[in-house]
Structure 1
Amino acid sequence: MQTQNAPENPIRIFLVAGEASGDVLAAELIEPLRAQFGDNAVFAGVGGPALAARGVPSSIDMSQLSVLGFFEGLMAWRRVSRLAKETAKQAAAFKADIVVLVDSWGFTMRVAHAVRALRPEALLVKYVGPQVWATRPGRVKNLAAAVDHLLSIHAFEAPYYVQTDLPVTFVGNPVLSRKARGDRAALRQRYNIADDTKVLLVLFGSRRAEFTRLHDAFVQAVEDVRARHPDLMVFCPLSGAIAIQVQAAASEDRRLQDMIFLDEADNADAFATADLALACSGTVTTELAAAGVPMVVGYKIGGLTWFLLKTFFLKTRYASLVNIAVDEMIVPEFIQEACTETALSAALDALLSDPDTYAQQKYGLGRAIANLQSGGPSTAHRAAEVIHHAFKKRA
């Protein structure tokens, strides 16, 4: 584990992220935390390339922690538990004063319990809570017993914790507080695409299992749509976590070869130039909504996991946050058995062929984003302020 050179009286902050989106969130915290704690702030942690780019390299490969589904989680239990214990040992060896656990429920909760045993004096902060409003509300008590503070990204989450002693602070949705604006013309000029040519984005998610399960339905849906709209251009922005896997699949699947692969660094420009998207359910749907890009959403998990969720745990009618925000099906969702190339291509075709359908979704996305926005400072700055206050209160 590498750390920065420590000042005379350091405040040691250990950041933990278990997947790509959490890695970005953790990286965004570093400068605001440094602004709050000054030159005394010293950082270490476990994460991915975003944290490493901010000077916090990880000795643990984050890709080992990306697990999707209940039974897949059971199969990976030993590996994830071992890595959680190793992470906690690193935090203790670092003599962490503050441990920030970002998203990744299963992994970060194991880390929290292990840190509590090894470094009980550390302030444990959970950044992004479990979706107890959607499934498994029993996690409220588990979280309250494991950490000292929850930084919530949804205003409607706090009431779920009123029967616990866990302080909960709404800091805003990080997707909506990012100021990056893409250049609509950049990608079109790079690939010589006319301004009036329609552009479709295909987003397979950030986990290997997501690509594996969505691959065939997504690419065949795109093939079907292009047969009806032959001038359609297709960009495929790739998360670093799945880029090698997708490119390897493209060597054998001609349908993927017809897409233009983009690096994550091009995401803002891709969202700015896109007319519509086919997306894996997840954070990216909120990003697309914020950019005003109408979309169709698909998702698949393991069959037994889906049965358990649907039968015992699922508490919301929708998968996409934009639909949940207005309690209405703004964005067409096709989950599990419904996620077929026929259904996906028909929904995409409706957006391309029917101006009213397209306009209605754009209007609905605006309503959803208005409900999700918090205003004021960025989410990362609010989160850093809360962490600083909580630490000073304990000191």
Structure 2
Amino acid sequence: MADPKSVFIVAAERSGDHLGAGLIRALRDAAGDGVRLAGVGGDAMAGEGIESAVDTSGLSILGLFDGLKAYGRVKAKVAETVAEILRVKPDAVVLIDSWGFMLRVAQGVRAADPSIRLIKYVGPQVFATRPGRAKTLANTVDHLMTILSFDAPYYEPHGLPVTFVGNPTLDRLPTGDGAAFRERHGLAQDQEIMLVLLGSRTSEIRRLWKSFEGAVKSLTGARPNLQPVFIMAAPVEDLVRPRLEAGGWMIVREDEKADAFAAADVALACSGTVVTELATAGVPTVTGYRLGWMTWAVLRLLRVMKAPFISLVNIAAGRMLVPEFVQTQCQPRQLSQSVSGLLDDPERRKALSEELVAATRQLRGEGDASRRAAETVISLL
């Protein structure tokens, strides 16, 4: 009997940690004792029995200047991660998302031991910004597993093999029970429900809080039948919960997310994966985002942003299905007016719901994305 192959999985952020956990389950299902697993990650991967030798907390960083401030910490974590990989000496390393961190880990491993196969899982969004990263990635890793159907043409010209596996995050979304959610929380079946999702990074809360808070206050003041429901992201609960409780607003945790999606009339959400999740569930959504002002100024000055939209669902559809309010446009008045427009037009909401579901089909791929990712890893071994 052949010796089992060894796979080392690295995830530096919460979303990557969940992708890693799904991949671990799928690898075990597909290969059983034929694969040995180790890795660096968070709670989700730990729940699958992968104890991380490196503490990845504090690596959820977004923006140029936040990255510069965290440079020393990130550099140290990269060194620890590379050292752990070299100690384990796996046949392959799967590096999930987190462009800057994973690039440095890949470069460190490649320099020390070129025999280890490097697989990137989720590529940088070169269709939107910094297309030169495609060549950099092609020169650093052996294969890219992408969650976006339109990624391959950006990477393959540089000689990087690409496999589209689909988006496991969207596979995980169960069908919710909206009526049960309303009954559980004492909400009438005809009451308007607006979900509010503030993001899962401290920096996002800090930059979006006033705009979102102002929009919610304006909307509830003008619409007595409107119930805002804040869905709490676990990583920022300690920061956000006191603010929400002080405002007397309704809070639910993420384990109620599917039911809340099914009950919602509209959503106001921080730009990110959750916007795609809401679209997959057919929830008409308004999204906002703010970067640090210095980062934003540099991006504007260098004209780094290439995509016409920031939301994947809009990019997939080729048009603005989810209204976007970015930086100076992310103001209470603009957000509240956009949400009101949706609430005032039930027919538009119904049509938009159907369009959102259709637009996200290509983002989901053929389904069971973690299984497809596992099969890709096994084939590369």
Q: How many residues align?
A: 380
Q: Distance in 2 between matches of 1:239 and 1:43?
A: 28
Q: Report SS of the residue matched to 1:185.
A: helix
1:61, distance to aligned residue in structure 2 (A): 3.3
1:178, distance to aligned residue in structure 2 (A): 2.9
Q: Distance in 2 between matches of 1:355 and 1:248?
A: 34
Match of 1:317 among 298, 304, 308: 308
State the match for 2:171 in structure 1. Answer: 177
The answer for unaligned runs of 5 or more in structure 1 is 1-6
Q: Distance in 2 between matches of 1:87 and 1:336?
A: 35
Contact 1:88–1:118 (Cα < 8 Å) also in 2: no
One-letter identity of the residue aligned with 2:8: F
1:121, distance to aligned residue in structure 2 (A): 2.0
Is structure 2 residue 135 aligned with structure 1 residue 145? Answer: no
State the match for 1:276 in structure 2. Answer: 266
Distance 1:285 1:355, change over 3 A: same
Contact 2:173–2:258 (Cα < 8 Å) also in 1: no
The answer for unaligned runs of 5 or more in structure 2 is none
Is structure 2 residue 44 aligned with structure 1 residue 45? Answer: no
Is structure 2 residue 375 aligned with structure 1 residue 390? Answer: no
Distance 1:347 1:388, change over 3 A: same
For normalisation by structure 1, the TM-score amounts to 0.91
Within 5 Å, which residues of 2 pair with 1:12-161?
12-161=6-155
Stretches of 4+ moved more than 4 A in 1?
A: none
1:8, distance to aligned residue in structure 2 (A): 9.3
Task: Give me the CA root mean square deviation.
Answer: 1.8
Distance 1:36 1:121, change over 3 A: farther
State the match for 1:369 in structure 2. Answer: 360
State the match for 1:344 in structure 2. Answer: 335
Q: Distance in 2 between matches of 1:96 and 1:186?
A: 47
Contact 2:149–2:362 (Cα < 8 Å) also in 1: no
Q: Report SS of the residue matched to 1:62.
A: coil
Contact 2:53–2:84 (Cα < 8 Å) also in 1: no
State the match for 2:213 in structure 1. Answer: 219
State the match for 1:4 in structure 2. Answer: none
Percent sequence identity over matched residues? 46
Q: Report SS of the residue matched to 2:378.
A: helix
Contact 2:56–2:77 (Cα < 8 Å) also in 1: no
Q: What do the CA deviations read for 1:12-40 (whole angstroms, capped 9, x no partner)?
A: 22111111111111111112111232213
Q: Distance in 1 between matches of 2:239 and 2:295?
A: 24
Q: Distance in 1 between matches of 2:11 and 2:364?
A: 24
Within 5 Å, which residues of 2 pair with 1:204-353?
204-250=198-244, 254-255=246-247, 258-311=248-301, 312-353=303-344
Contact 1:350–1:357 (Cα < 8 Å) also in 2: no
Q: Distance in 1 between matches of 2:173 and 2:193?
A: 23
Q: Distance in 1 between matches of 2:5 and 2:232?
A: 36
1:261, distance to aligned residue in structure 2 (A): 2.0
Q: Report SS of the residue matched to 2:73.
A: helix
